[in-house]
Amino acid sequence: MKETLDRQGTRYELNRRVKQVLVRHGVNLTLLKWSSSKRTTSFYGILEKEHGEEFTTQGLDALIKELIHMPQGPRLRFSLENWDISSDSGSWKITKKKKIEAMDTWDERRGTVVIRKIEKTDDVLKEAAEKNRSDE
């Protein structure tokens, strides 16, 4: 009996059971990373379903409940790019993060930059200070 409990309590076993739950809920495993310690499982990255589908808050609530109710259920910690999930006195607060729109696209930012003049840092700082004084 003790051997069975020890085997169930290993990090490997906990990570395997977490993966089973994630697969049952259709999580895209290429975007989400997780790591388990003895009592805590941490999630990083993007939490979405396969084929780019979004989770609903109800779907995430069901996923979290299943993770918590696993044998030797771990404490859960989330650091996700697209969801804010936190535990507040026994209940879970789940909110969708707003997407941050880039000011420009990657295509507009990339390209060759030519530096025509080599300047010393001290000279640049002096020039900036002079410009500030003249603007006042």
Mean pLDDT of 89-106: 73
Mean pLDDT of 51-62: 90
Using CA atoms, how far residue 93 sits from 61, 82, 86, 88, in Å, is 9, 14, 5, 7
109-135 pLDDT per residue, tens? 556 666 677 778 888 788 888 888 877
Element (H, E) at 109: helix 106-109
Say what the pLDDT of residue 136 is: 67
Residue 80 has pLDDT above 50, yes or no: yes
**What percentage of the chain reaches a pLDDT higher than 90?**
41
Distance of alpha carbon 44 from alpha carbon 75, whole angstroms: 15
Residue 45 has pLDDT above 50, yes or no: yes
Q: How many CB atoms lie within 10 A of CB 14?
A: 24
Say what the pLDDT of residue 3 is: 40
